[in-house]
Amino acid sequence: MKTMACITLNKKFKSTLLFTTILLFSGFNFSCEKFVDIKKNSSQSLIETADDCQQILDNYSQMNTLYPSDGELSADDYYLGEEGYLNPDVGQEERNLYAWMPTAIRGSASQWQSAYLIVYHANLVLETVEKLKGSADQSILDGLRGSALFFRSFAFWQVAQLYAKPYTIATALQDPGIPLRLNSDINGVSSRGTVSQTYERIIQDLQEAVTLLQPTSIVSSRPNKAAAYAMLARTYLSMEDYPQALINANLALQINSTLVDYNTINRDVFVLFSPRFSSKEVIFHSVTSLAPILNPGSAANNVAKIDPSLVASYASNDLRSVLFLKQNTSNVNVPDTPGSSDSTSVTANDGTYRFTGNYEPNTRSIFFNGLAVDELYLIRAECYARANNVTAALGDLNTLLSSRWNNTSVYQPIVATNVDDALSKVLIERRKELLMRSLRWTDLRRLNHDARFKKDLVRKVVRITPKVIGSISTGYIISFDYPAIATYSLPANDLRYTLLIPNEVIINSSLTQNPR
């Protein structure tokens, strides 16, 4: 039995995956003439057994990584200083997306293709499982089918958050959705269908997956029943179907409701949640593609800085304020003596903060976007509040927050004056808890439909400017100003909340581009 997701593939299988990776990144999801002869020569025939299927699904780098990061890039939890904006690792496409430019578009289809490569391998497993019926253990085949359905729906949902309009009952039957590739034929013609069809397929796959998967898995990179219920809860929440989100959050929490006491986490280590797969809160582990503009870096060398108002919203005894956030520093030249041209470089906290709460143990801009117990408590709390059950909503919220509170002080439970107050407090804590988890963009899209919570976004590129009073010889004080050198805005419900499909996809397919 293979007990780890990062397994060693046999020689035959390595060749298969290498071939399909090159093939798909060259043109998958495009109906191009140059691929018409690939089917009959494809190494798909080498995928013959249940063990082959399990190896595909257990290939962590293939199935659990490189999910789109442009939603997080487009959201409002961070901003840039001038140095970060001009960082040579940050490309012009990222700058355009940061500025919400109407023409902001990816030239390369890498984020699109990475998601559809996962879909391709899921479909390959589904087809092989179907062929193996009657010749292999049905319980094993059921697990493989359930996992493949989960991966396919998970990838579809990620793509839909960027390139399809937000789900609304009024327009879902008309708005263009995303291509729903349901087989491994790379020559199939892609069409967008509707938003309604997109979400129907995601839900259908997940609902079948929960009937096939085991409650838990031996490692969190493998799908399981709790993950499928959790993804259903997330999906229904993004559709604003709060009763169904509540039902599925409940079912997931019945399987796993474990919260980590943040007092047990060493706040001084380089990465908090290490090694990978070690957190008991994580139900399904996956990560986004690298995005240099989101790089938290180190105290002295960082790009993305967390929004100051968000930083200020954490209470002093909230351990997330020290686990999720770390102060940045700047080097400042201080005169050696009053009026002297000679100076000494000193390091000072510059009043900005970077994100350090990634469930993926690294300091780069590869962020956890999987499923975890804390998200489920917040989904359930929000749904309870929307169902006018303030007591249950605050019960879940306080259960979560008490596990994040410094045990050197007594946790004071959050109270609410009415339903709207309870809902508002849940949403505030949702943003603080799920920081940089690729969920904020989806939340903005759905909450913009509610006049109480819609938000016109404004963000800046700032110049971090030190002010020095005094000298080394007499003593000095350093303060910082943050004048904006550029300001950008995105009104609620703007068309730009649906990103433009990458240019490479449009050129090589018959898909229609999103409007501007």
Structural domain range at position 97: 11-284+369-455+492-507
Q: Which residue has the higher pLDDT, 9 or 259?
A: 259
pTM of the entire structure?
A: 0.92
With helix as H, strand as E and coil as C, how does 412-426 read? CCCCCCCHHHHHHHH
Residue 469 lies in a domain: no
In a domain, 229, yes or no: yes
pLDDT band at 25 (very low <50, low <70, confident <90, very high): very low
Q: Is the pLDDT of residue 55 over 70?
A: yes
329 found inside a domain: no
Residue 193 counted as domain residue: yes
Evaluate the CA torsion angle 384, 385, 387, 390 in order and state its sign. Answer: positive
> Could you identify the residue written with the tokens 């690729």?
438
pLDDT digits (tens, 9 = 90+) for 194-210: 999 999 999 999 999 99
Q: Flag whether pLDDT at 214 surpasses 90.
A: yes
Q: Is the pLDDT of residue 176 over 80?
A: yes
- 222-261 pLDDT per residue, tens: 999 999 999 999 999 999 999 999 999 999 999 999 999 9
Least Cα distance to 357 among 221, 451, 262, 497 occurs for 262
Are the C-beta atoms of residues 81 and 462 closer than 8 Å to each other? yes
Q: Which CATH number is 427's domain given?
A: 1.25.40.390
For 179-192, write each residue's pLDDT tens digit.
999 999 988 888 99
Domain assignment present for residue 289? The answer is: no
Residue 358 within any structural domain of the chain: no
Q: What is the 3-state secondary structure (H, E, C) of 188-211?
A: CCCCCCEHHHHHHHHHHHHHHHHH
- What is the number of structural domains in the chain? 1
Domain membership of residue 262 (yes or no) is yes
Residue 359 domain-assigned? no
Residue 402: exposed, middle, or buried by beta-carbon count in 10 A (0-12, 13-18, 19+)? middle
CA 176/CA 181 separation, integer angstroms: 15
